[in-house]
């Protein structure tokens, strides 16, 4: 078995839920969880029908669940009619129209906006009418390339109101990455901004968008939010400003009656080939799933101020900034800035300022802020917090302990959540009022989720034996296909274990039944919580005129969790200099975005390959990580390559 998924650590510390938390929790005991979980597994259709009734439907469903195993196609709530925008907005207008839906904190301290449910409803209806005026209808694709501003959520909800399919692209991605995603989805409209802010600098987003759409003939309209108020170049007849489009337009727009299986959004996730995968999520099942996971995992209360620090460009932002919280009528905080600007206490300042009660962030951020010690935290009153959460990657126990004791004052349970872009919502997590926590463990499966761990031989792994994590039965939030390529969907997720969803993650289940994630087993690396496909980075490196070949792997990093280590073979006659290294790093940043920059570049005369020409990334990974033994090299075409790579490894 791959040594990366061997079990080598035992965590003995245990943290039962505080009695005060437990007393007010939605689910108060492990017995209550077990009872509900058993119901969800034994009678899944009955269970999910009951959860679906928490939402508003224009028409009931004909069947709860249908599954064509051979074709890897399934449906939830077949022929049921509903609208996501209606459930996130209209449904709450009678009960609490003046409740704040979104608190927005800009990077500059003085920039704060608050939108009530009534105001958000009006803005969404207006932008939906803007889209309709431009001829957009059900099934059309809208690309959203915006910073963390309320207009991002408004644009997403407006798409759902008219039945358009949104494809949100993280504003930190480069022009090339944006171009690839527009070309694949064939979006006809781009919603962007004049710029975004990061650590006191303005980034010209419109300029990057213009570069991208030079090669995207499908784009007919570009709507630009004036955010940083720079002099954005506007093309007459194609480009228009958001505020001008919204001026004088009606704030009444009836929600489209959508079939439960109608597409809701496409969200691209890095794949192990150069082309990113467009995960397609549908309307009814996705909304039912994120509605319930938000309510139960975050133990939602009407008085909560919920802050998820993710960007709306990622699935976490879709599910737990926009759709999960708003379908529950929650107040969510959107934050434009970074945790260390203008100082390293910014997160704690924002929590104190808005009296945040539930805080959901990435282990990367926690590790980065740990470096500054407790002093920045102690400057602030964090007593409003009642629950903490982590997302994006496994959290190491010591970071968990710091988060629990220093940020949560040893009174806030931590929901360490595991899920993926493809899964739509959280699959494995503690329920904070019911479960005893183990630092580093994601605890138990959510309702309806049936995880199994297989060993190398394809048999069920023993307790505490690391193996391959799969889910044996679909759930409502699971993606339905890869946009435009159902074969790729089948090959990637359903072929390894026929009829079961393969997560591409390693895990173990301990003697108590708690699950521990052990990292990726494919060539997708998580850097600062972001999934980076090595094939895309390799493609970016090879596109440089000096590079003949590249192999990219992950290397452990104290702050990011993992960083990128690139082995680069140069074209004949080109010397590997420090200047060229910097040039290659900048080239990747320009091609893919700064998040994909390699931390290390090692020049190499050759890469370890099998006789069929496949690069053995397992060996590259061992070298990058400093392993004493790189494993079996007998299958290599030239085993001496390994000795040279080891000799020149970067410490």
CATH number at residue 572: 3.30.300.30
Q: What is the pLDDT of residue 531?
A: 56
245-256 pLDDT, tens digit each = 999 999 999 999
What's the mean pLDDT when you consider all of the chain?
92
Q: What is the pLDDT of residue 273?
A: 47
Domain annotation covers residue 298:
no
Domain annotation covers residue 385:
no
**pLDDT tops 80 at residue 612:** no
pLDDT band at 431 (very low <50, low <70, confident <90, very high): very high
Contact 485, 491 (CB under 8 A): no
Q: What is the mean pLDDT of residues 359-387?
A: 92
Higher pLDDT, 425 or 609: 425
Domain annotation covers residue 180:
yes
Domain span at 241: 102-256
Question: Which stretch of 94-103, 335-344, 391-400 has the lowest confidence by average pLDDT?
Answer: 391-400
CATH code of the domain in which 186 resides: 3.40.50.980
Task: Tell me the backbone φ, ψ of residue 414, rounded to 5 degrees.
Answer: -115, 125
Domain annotation covers residue 396:
no
Percent share of the chain, pLDDT over 70: 95
Among 219, 235, 256, the domain-final residue is 256
pLDDT band at 346 (very low <50, low <70, confident <90, very high): very high
Domain annotation covers residue 235:
yes
Model-level pTM?
0.84
Domain annotation covers residue 59:
no
In which element (H, E) is residue 388 found?
Answer: strand 387-390
Cα–Cα distances in Å, from 252 out to 93, 125, 127, 192, 423? 14, 6, 10, 24, 34
Q: What is the pLDDT of residue 535?
A: 67
pLDDT band at 524 (very low <50, low <70, confident <90, very high): low
Question: Which stretch of 7-16, 87-96, 496-505 has the lowest confidence by average pLDDT?
Answer: 7-16
Cα–Cα distances in Å, from 558 out to 369, 373, 395, 564? 12, 15, 12, 13
- Round to whole Å and give the CA distance between 134 and 50: 39
Domain annotation covers residue 559:
yes
Among 210, 235, 256, the domain-final residue is 256
6-47 pLDDT, tens digit each = 343 467 889 999 999 999 999 999 999 999 999 999 999 999
Question: Which stretch of 75-84, 120-129, 490-499 has the lowest confidence by average pLDDT?
Answer: 490-499
- Round to whole Å and give the CA distance between 391 and 588: 26
**pLDDT tops 70 at residue 377:** yes
Domain annotation covers residue 535:
yes
Q: What is the pLDDT of residue 397?
A: 82
Which H, E and C letters describe 127-140, residue by residue? HHHHHHHCCCCCCC
How many residues appear in the chain?
Answer: 651
Among 238, 256, 274, the domain-final residue is 256
Question: Residue 219, Cα to own-chain centre: how many angstroms?
Answer: 26
Contact 381, 352 (CB under 8 A): yes
**pLDDT tops 70 at residue 634:** no
Number of domains in the chain: 2
Higher pLDDT, 469 or 627: 469
């Amino acid at each position: 078995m791959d040594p990366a998924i061997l079990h080598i650590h035992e965590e003995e510390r245990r943290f039962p839920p505080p009695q005060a938390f437990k007393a007010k929790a939605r689910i108060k005991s492990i017995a209550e969880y077990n009872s509900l979980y058993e119901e969800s597994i034994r009678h899944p259709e009955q269970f999910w029908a009951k959860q679906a009734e928490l939402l508003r439907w224009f028409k009931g469903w004909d069947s709860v669940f249908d599954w064509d195993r051979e074709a890897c196609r399934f449906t939830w709530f077949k022929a049921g009619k509903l609208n996501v925008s209606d459930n996130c907005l209209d449904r709450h207008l009678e009960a609490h129209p003046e409740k704040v839906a979104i608190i927005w904190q800009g990077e500059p301290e003085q920039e704060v906006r608050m939108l009530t449910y009534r105001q958000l409803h009006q803005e969404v209806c207006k932008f939906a009418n803007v889209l309709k005026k431009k001829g957009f209808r059900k099934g059309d694709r809208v690309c959203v390339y915006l910073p963390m501003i309320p207009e991002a959520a408004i644009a997403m909800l407006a798409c759902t109101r008219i039945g358009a399919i949104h494809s949100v692209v993280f504003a930190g991605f480069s022009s090339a990455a944006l171009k690839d995603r527009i070309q694949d989805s064939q979006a006809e409209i781009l919603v962007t901004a004049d710029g975004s802010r990061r650590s006191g600098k303005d980034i010209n987003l419109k300029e990057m968008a213009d570069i991208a759409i030079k090669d995207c003939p499908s784009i007919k309209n570009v709507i630009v939010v004036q955010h940083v108020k720079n002099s954005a170049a506007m093309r007459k007849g194609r480009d228009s400003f958001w505020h001008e489009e919204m001026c004088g337009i009606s704030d009444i727009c009836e929600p489209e009656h959508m079939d439960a299986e109608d597409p809701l959004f496409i969200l691209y996730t890095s794949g192990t080939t150069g082309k990113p995968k467009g995960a397609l999520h549908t309307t009814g099942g996705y909304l039912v799933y994120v509605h319930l996971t938000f309510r139960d995992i975050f133990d939602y209360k009407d008085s909560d101020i919920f802050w998820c620090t993710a960007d709306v460009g990622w699935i976490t932002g879709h599910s737990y900034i926009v759709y999960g919280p708003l379908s529950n009528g929650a107040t969510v905080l959107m934050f434009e800035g970074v945790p260390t600007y203008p100082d390293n206490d910014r997160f704690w300042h924002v929590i104190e300022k808005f009296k945040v009660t539930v805080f959901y962030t990435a282990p990367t951020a926690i590790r980065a802020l740990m470096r500054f010690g407790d002093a920045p935290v102690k400057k602030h009153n964090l007593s409003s917090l009642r629950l903490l959460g982590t997302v994006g990657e496994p959290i190491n126990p010591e970071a968990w302990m710091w988060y629990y004791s220093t940020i949560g004052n040893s009174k806030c349970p931590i929901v360490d959540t595991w899920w993926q872009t493809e899964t739509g919502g959280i699959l494995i997590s503690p329920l904070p009022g019911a479960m005893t926590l183990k630092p580093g463990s994601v605890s138990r499966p959510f309702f309806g989720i049936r995880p199994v761990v297989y060993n190398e031989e394809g048999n069920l792994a023993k307790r505490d034996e690391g193996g391959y994590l799969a889910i044996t039965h679909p759930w409502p939030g699971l993606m339905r296909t890869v946009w435009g390529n159902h074969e790729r969907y089948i090959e990637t997720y359903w072929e390894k274990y026929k009829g079961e969803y393969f997560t591409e993650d390693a895990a173990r289940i301990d003697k108590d039944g708690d699950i521990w994630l052990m990292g990726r087993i494919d060539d997708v690396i998580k850097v600062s919580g972001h999934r980076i496909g090595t094939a895309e980075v390799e493609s970016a490196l090879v596109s440089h005129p000096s590079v003949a070949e590249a192999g990219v792997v992950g290397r452990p990093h104290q702050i990011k969790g993992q960083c990128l280590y690139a082995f680069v073979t140069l074209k004949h006659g080109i010397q590997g200099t420090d200047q060229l290294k910097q040039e290659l790093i900048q080239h990747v940043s320009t091609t893919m975005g700064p998040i994909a920059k390699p931390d290390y570049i090692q020049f190499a005369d050759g890469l370890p390959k099998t006789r069929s020409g496949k690069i053995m990334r397992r060996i590259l990974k061992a070298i990058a990580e400093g392993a004493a033994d790189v494993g079996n090299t007998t299958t290599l075409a030239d085993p001496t390559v390994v000795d040279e790579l080891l000799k020149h490894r970067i410490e």
